[in-house]
Amino acid sequence: MVRIDQDIKLDFKDVLFRPKRSSLSSRSQVTLERELHFMHSPLAWTGVPILAANMDTVGTFAMAEVLSKFKCLVAVHKHYSLEQWRTWCSRVGRDVLDNVAVSTGILKDDLIKLKSVMEISKANFICLDVANGYAEAFVEVVKTLRRDYPDKVIMAGNVVTGEMCEELLLSGADIVKVGIGPGSVCTTRKMTGVGYPQLSAVIECADAAHGIGGMIISDGGCTCSGDVCKAFGGGADFVMLGGMLAGHDESGGQLVHDLKSEKWYKEFYGMSSDTAMNKYAGGVANYRASEGKSVKVPYRGPVGHTVQDVLGGLRSCCTYVGARALKELSKRTTFVRVTQQLNPVFDHAPAAPQAPKAPPRPTVAAAKEARETESDGPPSPKRSRADSAGSPRH
């Protein structure tokens, strides 16, 4: 029988933080690093709990090298070959590898490859990722991974409700990924009608997880640093970013030069999009539909600048609510519901003229990864007309 939940569910756009009295005199007094201990794994981790998504346009080796300098994590996508893993692991140190999660699916081949990658990398984190974390088969794989990797930190998802969050934690996950459909290049809500407003999902899943000693990741839905703050304020232990980290030197995706605008763009697409399935699965199977889209993101330069903006916004938020450390933010949070967040008066004003941007020059790490991908990875797609004006150096 059909049931309608009459409770109002909220997204990041529906609320703002209520400021509170603060004894902090500077943003520099805020501590963003956390020391975390896990429900099942005996390991401890210290760092800033922001995580790059396990998409091949975001969760790259080059991204891991940069984000590790900020003590942030990267869920490295599962499509790197074993040879690419060996090459990369041979030239980076534990300061990078200790901040890497190895991503995997639930198929037999995925789990066989995971074993090899874990032997090569000696990583401490495993990110078990499927679109629908409610499947019984997924729960069984979580149990299997806990048995096979008793000392590793296991992330599993995605789900959006408290009861499933509890089941995954009790089955062996240390951290549950929360979010169905909020991503910038995800079309699951449009294609299936399934989803849950992200802020309410975070609040409810955090309550369920923390009650039994588990943790959650807010995965998707962040459009700016303020949304990252709201996810932490709602109780998330980690926040996973995809679109906010796209378009940079360290991001994956083809670099395209638009002849008309004379601007550079980078390809960004969902991992259930036509683009991703054509690239890795030989096309969209006849029993399913694409649940992602492909976009071109304006080139944004080195990712370090974006990470610094996010961390700066997070520190500023903590000062507004009087939280001396990130771990205090949720305890100091009171949200107010709003109908409008921003002043739109200049939304449609013409942008100030700028000098044409020179062709982007990738970082050393990104350049190395591009060369390795060309030699070891799948063949590069054909150049589009937009590329005919001349490609930047890789």
Q: Is 186 in the active site?
A: yes
State residue 288's pLDDT score.
82
Cα separation, 49 vs 174, whole angstroms: 14
DSSP per position, 144-197: HHHHH-TTSEEEEEEE-SHHHHHHHHHHT-SEEEE-SS-STTB-HHHHH-----
Q: What is the pLDDT of residues 21-47, one digit of tens each?
A: 999 999 999 999 999 999 999 999 999
State residue 214's pLDDT score.
99
Q: Is the pLDDT of residue 266 over 70?
A: yes
Q: Which of 89, 186, 222, 318 is catalytic?
A: 186
Look at the block and give the residue holding tokens 């062996």: 172
Q: Which residues contact 240 (CB under 8 A, 6 or more apart)?
A: 51, 52, 53, 75, 177, 179, 217, 218, 219, 220
Q: Provide the pairing of β-strand 238-241 with 215-219.
A: parallel
Look at the block and give the residue holding tokens 């990470």: 307
Kindly state the average pLDDT of the residues 330-353. Answer: 90
**Euclidean distance between the first and final Cα of the chain, in Å?**
57
Is 181 annotated in some ligand binding site?
yes
Cα separation, 90 vs 111, whole angstroms: 23
Kindly state the average pLDDT of the residues 70-99. Answer: 98
Banded pLDDT at 286 (limits 50, 70, 90): confident
Q: Is the pLDDT of residue 105 over 90?
A: yes
- Amino acid in position 17: F
Q: What is the pLDDT of residues 177-194, one digit of tens each?
A: 999 999 999 999 999 999
**pTM of the entire predicted model:** 0.89
Banded pLDDT at 281 (limits 50, 70, 90): confident
Give CA angle at 33 (209, 251), nearest 5°: 90
Give me the residue spans of the domains in the chain. 12-338+359-374
Q: Is the pLDDT of residue 360 over 80?
A: no
Banded pLDDT at 158 (limits 50, 70, 90): very high
Q: What is the pLDDT of residues 192-225, one digit of tens each?
A: 999 999 999 999 999 999 999 999 999 999 999 9
Secondary-structure class of domain 12-338+359-374 per CATH: alpha beta
Is 183 annotated in some ligand binding site?
yes
State residue 387's pLDDT score.
44
Going by the DSSP 8-state scheme, the letter that residue 258 receives in this structure is E
Banded pLDDT at 386 (limits 50, 70, 90): very low
Banded pLDDT at 389 (limits 50, 70, 90): very low
Give CA angle at 45 (73, 42), nearest 5°: 130
